[in-house]
């Protein structure tokens, strides 16, 4: 058997990203952030969810390294941090017409 076996740590990382993306609200947030960086307030308005809910999702994805914040004065803008997530979101948009 000469085929290269998958890396366990990379599989664990991929599973964590996919698990995070599998939540409808987080997927919506990621699709929005794929288009442009946004504040919690902007995401709250687009998603129709409360500020605490959006913040919880962003915190989880920030801890997983998927998104990261950028402070500009009193505003905090979020954007996709993981470059591997960008083509994944783009592919999902094409496949599922998101």
Domain boundaries of the chain, sorted by first residue = 23-96
Share of the chain above pLDDT 70, in %: 98
Q: At what angle do helices 24-35 and 40-47 cross, to 10 degrees?
A: 120
Q: Does the domain spanning 23-96 belong to CATH 1.10.10.10?
A: yes
pTM: 0.86
Residue 44 has pLDDT above 90, yes or no: yes
Q: Are 23 and 66 in contact (CB under 8 A)?
A: no
CA–CA distances in Å: residue 6 to residues 9, 12, 14, 79: 9, 11, 11, 29
Question: How is residue 4 written in tokens?
Answer: 């290269």
pLDDT-derived band of residue 31, with 50, 70 and 90 as boundaries?
very high
């Amino acid at each position: 058997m000469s085929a290269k076996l998958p890396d366990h740590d990379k599989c664990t990382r991929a599973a964590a990203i996919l698990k995070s993306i599998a939540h409808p609200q987080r997927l919506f947030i990621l699709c929005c952030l794929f288009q442009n960086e946004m504040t919690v307030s902007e995401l709250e308005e687009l998603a129709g969810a409360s500020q605490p809910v959006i913040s919880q999702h962003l915190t989880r994805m920030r801890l997983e390294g998927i998104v990261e914040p950028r402070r500009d004065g009193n505003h905090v803008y979020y954007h996709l941090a993981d470059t591997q997530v960008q083509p994944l979101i783009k592919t999902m948009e094409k496949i599922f017409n998101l």
